[in-house]
Amino acid sequence: MGKKRMSRRNFIGKSTAAMAGISILPSNVISGFGYKAPSDKLNIVGVGVGGMGFGNLKSMESENIIGLCDVDWGYAKKVGEYFPKAKKYKDFRKMYDEMGSSIDGVMVATADHTHAIVAANAIAMGKHVYVQKPLTHSVYESRLLTNLTKKHKVATQMGNQGASWEGVNLMTEWLANGEIGEVTSVEAFTDRPIWPQGNPVPKTDPIPETLDWDLFLGPAKKREYSQLYTPWNWRGWWDFGTGALGDMACHILHPVFVGLELGYPTEVQGGSTLLMADSAPNAEKVTLVFPKRKGRGNKELPEVKVTWYDGGLKPDRPKGWPEGKSMNNSGGGVIFHGTKDTLVCGCYGKEPWLLSGRVPNAPKFRRRIETSHEQDWIRSSKESASSRIETSSNFSEAGPFNEMVVMGVLAVRLQHLNKTLHWDGPNMKFTNIGDSEKLQFVVKDNFEMKDNLPRFSKELTDPVNAKAFAAELIKHTYQNGWSLPEMPS
């Protein structure tokens, strides 16, 4: 940004254009095309600091935490007390406007629907970013962060911390070494949700004095406040979150995406318990098909089907499973079905093992991370772009992976088309949704007992055009005053 002060109202629309002019550069850029000595400290700000963001910032307190932004300083009060020298904001646009020239890195842990707008504008300003999972709320937003990162050459990390742990390293190396043969089927599950889902729109509540409800909504459509939306339950509402799948698949499916060297799926289908218009369902099953592809060493990898379960649903135990052993390890699990053996791990890729009982001794080629997930991002942020060692979940990987995750959400929300959906990944569109197909969703279940007999009278939305609805899910229409930088060519 230049010296001219931007209002928070016009900042978002002008941030990308401003990058073309003369900028006041942060210290990490001045000191040598992105290089900052390891002994020097980064100036970091946090956006969305009341929940998981607080833990992330504490893992970054080796640096200078100079700014904190949250829409509810009642909920985030403890964070402000912990970092008393940091300047406090409710609107990240104002913080970028006032502190932009001093910022080196941005930690983002807002609700899912605002991850992209906070992170994309930071990247366009040349800032390094750490973004909680899921990386974004939509496919387009994931693609945008991937491409912006490539253009601006900043250090990035998605907050799926298992990517920095040993389990993912071992599994990737075992798979690459052919320890279980060819993998054509994977099953994964989580025990989430642990928050309310499958609900109609709740009653309106008074807005807490400490909460700026309009800023929480941000680019999402306007609606009345309810205490069931925030500060914790937003994950279960489509406009703000991505349900159990979006929350946990970024942890559980990461070793699947990395270990099997996946790209875009070609087919997807989803199903669930009662599908509501506004809230994610209580339980889901999603199947994604990935085509044949080239792996490491130009190795041919077969088509693979990945099946996801949540809300208490699980895959069947494979033949030979130890009696009495739970499939759930730290919130979920993954089963890789190979032609020679079966590979199993828990959430975050924890504690991988083979069903045969054999312990592989495969060549180690993955970088081992001795610090924390957050500290590895800090290390990467201090390195020159020309020689940077990328983090374990940088956006060149996390962006395409997150597209896989939110594709599962699309499959669930489009399930009433009653067909396998065909996906054109490079062009971000479904190819077999007809122009005249329609969808309806349940607004209220309206179940009641009358004269000792059950009565069912579901209230539905008006029919919507399925093609237009799918397009909106892929690339959201933001409310006036909120916009993203342009997609790099």
Residue 93: what residue type?
R
Q: Which helix (H) or strand (E) holds 462?
A: none
Residue labelled with tokens 């601006």? 152
pLDDT value for 387: 96
pLDDT averaged over every residue in the chain: 93
Token pair, residue 347, equals 């959430």
Q: Is the pLDDT of residue 36 over 90?
A: no
The mean per-residue pLDDT over the stretch 279-284 comes to 98
8 Å CB contact between 175 and 295: no
The structure tokens listed for 281 are 């369902």
pLDDT confidence of residue 409? 98
pLDDT tens for each residue of 137-151: 999 999 999 999 999
pLDDT at 215 over 70: yes
| Cβ 239 vs Cβ 223: under 8 Å | yes
Q: What is the pLDDT of residue 199?
A: 94
Q: What CATH number does domain 8-161+372-392 carry, 3.40.50.1010, 3.40.50.720, 1.10.10.10, 3.40.50.300?
A: 3.40.50.720
Res. 34 pLDDT band, cuts 50 70 90: low
Give CA–CA dist 312/335, Å, rounded: 16
Is the model's pLDDT at 280 over the cut of 90?
yes
Cβ 325 vs Cβ 310: under 8 Å? no
* Residue 267 falls in which region: left (phi positive, over 0), alpha (psi -120 to 50) or beta: beta
| Per-residue pLDDT at 5 exceeds 60 | no
How far CA 353 is from CA of 61, 175, 207, 337, 342, in Å, comes to 36, 12, 49, 12, 8
pLDDT per residue as tens digits for the range 57-101: 999 999 999 999 999 999 999 999 999 999 999 999 999 999 999
Find out whether 184 and 307 touch, Cβ atoms under 8 Å: no
Residue type, 362: A
Sequence-distant (≥ 6) Cβ neighbours of residue 131 within 8 angstroms? 108, 109, 115, 119, 145, 156, 157, 158, 159
Tokens standing for residue 148: 């912006």
The tokens describing 385, both together, are 């772009």
Return d(Cα 489, Cα 480) in angstroms, integer: 24
The CA dihedral of 263, 268, 271, 277, to the nearest 10 degrees, is 90
> Above 70 in pLDDT, residue 22?
no
Higher pLDDT, 217 or 26: 217
User: What is the predicted pLDDT for the residue at 4?
Assistant: 38
Q: What is the pLDDT of residues 445-482, one digit of tens each?
A: 988 898 999 988 999 999 999 999 999 999 999 999 99
- Give the pLDDT mean for 127-134: 98
pLDDT at 37: 80
Please state, for a pLDDT cut of 70, what percent of the chain lies above it.
93
| Threshold 0.85, pTM exceeds | yes
Cβ atoms of residues 159 and 130 within 8 Å? yes
pLDDT, tens digit (0-9, with 9 covering 90-100), for 160-171: 999 999 999 999
For residue 89, report the phi and psi dihedrals to the nearest 5 degrees. Answer: -140, 160
Using pLDDT thresholds of 50, 70 and 90, give the confidence band for residue 326.
Answer: very high
Domain boundaries, the chain: 8-161+372-392
Average pLDDT over residues 337-349: 98
Kind and range of the H or E element at 470? helix 466-474
Which among 152, 137, 67 has a CA at the least distance from the CA of 101? 67
State residue 456's pLDDT score. 87
275 — phi, psi (to 5°)? -90, 115
